[in-house]
Amino acid sequence: MELHDQTVKSLCLVYLFTGPKGFVRADAFAGDGRLPFETSRRGIFAIGDVRAGSTKRVAAAVGEGAQLVATLHMYLTQAVDRLRIMIGPALEVAHG
Ligand SMILES: Cc1cc2nc3c(=O)[nH]c(=O)nc-3n(C[C@H](O)[C@H](O)[C@H](O)COP(=O)(O)OP(=O)(O)OC[C@H]3O[C@@H](n4cnc5c(N)ncnc54)[C@H](O)[C@@H]3O)c2cc1C
């Protein structure tokens, strides 16, 4: 049980860039090598009230969530492509 608790803690210890008011920086638009809503940490996204510059309304948070679905599909597709590039040569070696 203790090991499980430590594992959870280590997974949650992630530092993200924030704005001057402490909200997480994640632009709603792609740019600077980042996908929409991607934080300073690749693969971590922020939407809703926690995001710097968000509207702080229920409808806005829900809308950002809906937008994020498309972004996540894009991110996962890119991640699979990166994995193929990384392990592709290893697979060729393994299979002769
Ligand atoms: C008093 C008040 C009245 C409001 N009235 C309106 C209104 O009339 N109309 C309107 O549109 N908006 C209103 N808002 C704003 C609206 O509530 C927010 O914009 C909306 O809830 C944002 O949704 P969210 O999912 O981004 O964040 P939240 O709804 O705040 O959800 C974040 C969740 O994360 C949880 N959480 C936080 N830290 C952690 C952690 N470390 N680990 C796990 N979970 C965590 C929180 O407990 C919470 O459940 C009001 C806000 C307040 C405070």
- The residue range of the domain holding 57 is 3-95
pLDDT-derived band at 5 (thresholds 50, 70, 90) equals: low
Atom 14 (ligand 1): residue with closest C-alpha?
A: 57
Q: What would the pLDDT profile of 20-33 be if each residue is shown by its tens digit? A: 999 999 999 988 88
Single pTM value for the model: 0.83
Instruction: Ligand 1 pocket test: pick from 37, 45, 58, 67 the residue with the most ligand atoms within 8 Å of its Cβ.
Output: 58
34-81 tens-digit pLDDT: 999 999 999 999 999 999 999 999 999 999 999 999 999 999 998 888
Task: Identify the band that residue 1 occupies on the pLDDT scale cut at 50, 70 and 90.
Answer: very low
Nearest CA to ligand 1 atom 12: 57
**Count of the separate structural domains present in the chain:** 1
Cα–Cα distance for residue pair 40/15, rounded to 1 Å: 9
Q: Is 57 in the pocket of ligand 1 (CB under 6 A)?
A: yes
Radius of gyration of the chain (CA): 17
Structure tokens at 37: 């809503």
- Region of 18 please: left (phi>0), alpha (psi -120 to 50) or beta: beta
